Amino acid sequence: MLGNIQAIARSAEPSYRLPMSRIVIVGASIAGLSTGLLLARAGHEVVVLDGDDVSPGGPDEVIARAFRPGAPHAVHAHAFLARGRAVLRDRLPDVLDKLRGEGATDLPLPPPPSIASQVVDRDPDLVFLMVRRPLAEWALREVAVSQLGLEVRTGERVTGLSLDESGAVPRVTGVTLRSGGVQTADLIIDASGRRSSIVRELSQTFGLASLVQSEDCGMVYFSRAYRVRSGISTLPPLNRGFAAGALLPRFGTLLAPCENGHVIAAITPLAADVAMKNVRTPAVFDTVLRKVGPVSPWLDVLEPTSDVYSMGGLQSTLIRLVRDGRAIIHGLHVVGDACSTTNPTYGRGLSWALAHAGVITDVIAQYPDDLDRQAKALDAWIAAEIEPFYQDAIAGDRVRVAMMNRALLGQELAPAMSPPQSKLSGDPGRPTFMQLVAASLTDTYVWHRLARYQSLLATPSDVYDDPIVRQRISQLDSAEIPFPAPTGPTNEELAKILN
């Protein structure tokens, strides 16, 4: 009998738990909503504030007005990497179910055709989620608004932090609101995205000049949405696993099928490539895509559903709130883009936001009354998981931007197999990214390692420093690599299209 009562009590545990902390989250987007949901389910009393006025509505309605000032990137092409899907599967399965109910599908990442017959055991985590970003945000919001212990308040802009500076370490006690007054809390979580003013305000207040590390990505993003035309039953192939695309000398392109026949495409040239800015014109965007071998056949089966959106000012950033082993602030955590961004072409932000939300929830559960240990444990996770990808992105961008600059100037490019990445890492034995890609076309072990790293299921070191990967690459005979040269427009053809 007693056993039954305990079993019932355990199964109903979350709804009987008393609120543990009053938590305010700034930003009701991917990071803020997922963190809010997880914390409310852990028994906390959570308020999520967002400056944008996001009115409720069905998925089509919400997607149609997805462009909003607080998250202008929401309408751009987004890939949902395997890590983010795994977090939804493991921690927010109802959100994943909601997305599936609206047509989002799983795509087990296929190996390249050259090794497909050799890959027998599929990695169950290596699965992408095919969905447009605004739908992911809609699903999180739908689940969040009916979550006990969670209040989502939109149209409420946070203007600053309220601090108690009487102790050795300043303590955040609330946020100031544009509508007036202060919203107090035991803990504040900054999920206000890449333009977060909160950490910048902290740096200024305490003279902590380099709280934020950052570097310009050097690239600009152009995206356009399409839909598969009615009556089309066979779609062209995807050459890049979850997408069709190519990394060309002057720009990258990516075209990814999403839910219910929606497709989103991006063109990413150098920010300095002034002529390429003309892809902002829809007809020019499509003409450039038509010139890209793997993407071209898609244009025959699609019709556009949007204009071309553009976004520049893209930075890689990393914020660490622990310095020389000491927390510089108590009662404030940062999550999602407010903590770190990298070049969006790597497609990492959604997955990091979701993973970070889970880690914040676990750390608060582990040290519920100890803000210092919370700060240090979260910083340790950022150092172990996010910082290596931040460094990796910066190294990759420097190589890519240097190559694109040469192409822009019409200079001869170095062979694909030898970009100077190893020089940047300071490790002469480190393979280059292109070597990894080349080896992954003939070697299932290298492909699997590379795919897990690109999907954020493993760290950069798990692939670059793996002795087997290094050994396989050293044995690589470049003459035998089925390295398809991506076909795209020449500089002369581009000049004609863009003028």
Ligand X SMILES: Cc1cc2nc3c(=O)[nH]c(=O)nc-3n(C[C@H](O)[C@H](O)[C@H](O)COP(=O)(O)OP(=O)(O)OC[C@H]3O[C@@H](n4cnc5c(N)ncnc54)[C@H](O)[C@@H]3O)c2cc1C
Binding ligand X (rule: CB under 6 A), the pick from 23, 30, 295, 375 is 30
Minimum separation from the CB atom of position 284 to ligand X (A): 19
Q: Measured from the CB atom, is 88 or 439 closer to ligand X?
A: 88
Binding ligand X (rule: CB under 6 A), the pick from 23, 24, 31, 104 is 31
Q: Does 344 bind ligand X (CB under 6 A)?
A: yes
Strand partners, 244: 255
Binding ligand X (rule: CB under 6 A), the pick from 28, 127, 289, 329 is 28
Q: Measured from the CB atom, is 136 or 494 closer to ligand X?
A: 136
Q: Measured from the CB atom, is 220 or 446 closer to ligand X?
A: 220
Minimum separation from the CB atom of position 202 to ligand X (A): 14
Q: Does 83 bind ligand X (CB under 6 A)?
A: no
Minimum separation from the CB atom of position 252 to ligand X (A): 12
Burial 53-79 (b: 16+ CB within 10 A, else e): ebeeeebeebbeebebebbebbbbbbb
Q: Classify the C-alpha dihedral 109-381-213-158 as positive or negative.
A: positive
Q: Measured from the CB atom, is 348 or 449 closer to ligand X?
A: 348
Q: Does 27 bind ligand X (CB under 6 A)?
A: yes
Q: Measured from the CB atom, is 351 or 421 closer to ligand X?
A: 351
Binding-residue pattern over the window 348 to 367 for ligand X, x denoting contact by CB under 6 A: xxxx-x--------------
Q: Measured from the CB atom, is 112 or 336 closer to ligand X?
A: 336
Q: Measured from the CB atom, is 115 or 329 closer to ligand X?
A: 329
Minimum separation from the CB atom of position 478 to ligand X (A): 31
Binding ligand X (rule: CB under 6 A), the pick from 26, 401, 404, 439 is 26
Minimum separation from the CB atom of position 349 to ligand X (A): 2
> How far apart, in whole angstroms, are the C-alpha atoms of residue 284 and residue 297?
17
Q: Does 269 bind ligand X (CB under 6 A)?
A: no
Binding-residue pattern over the window 49 to 78 for ligand X, x denoting contact by CB under 6 A: xxxx-----------------xx-x--x-x
Minimum separation from the CB atom of position 363 to ligand X (A): 18
Minimum separation from the CB atom of position 446 to ligand X (A): 24
Per CB under 6 A, contacts with ligand X among 167-196 are: 191-194
Binding span for ligand X by CB under 6 A among 11-19, 337-345, 447-455, 486-494: 337-345
Binding-residue pattern over the window 193 to 232 for ligand X, x denoting contact by CB under 6 A: xx--x-----------------------x-----------
Binding span for ligand X by CB under 6 A among 107-115, 257-265, 300-308, 331-339: 331-339
Residues that bind ligand X (CB under 6 A): 26-32, 49-52, 70-71, 73, 76, 78-79, 157-158, 191-194, 197, 221, 311, 336-338, 344, 347-351, 353
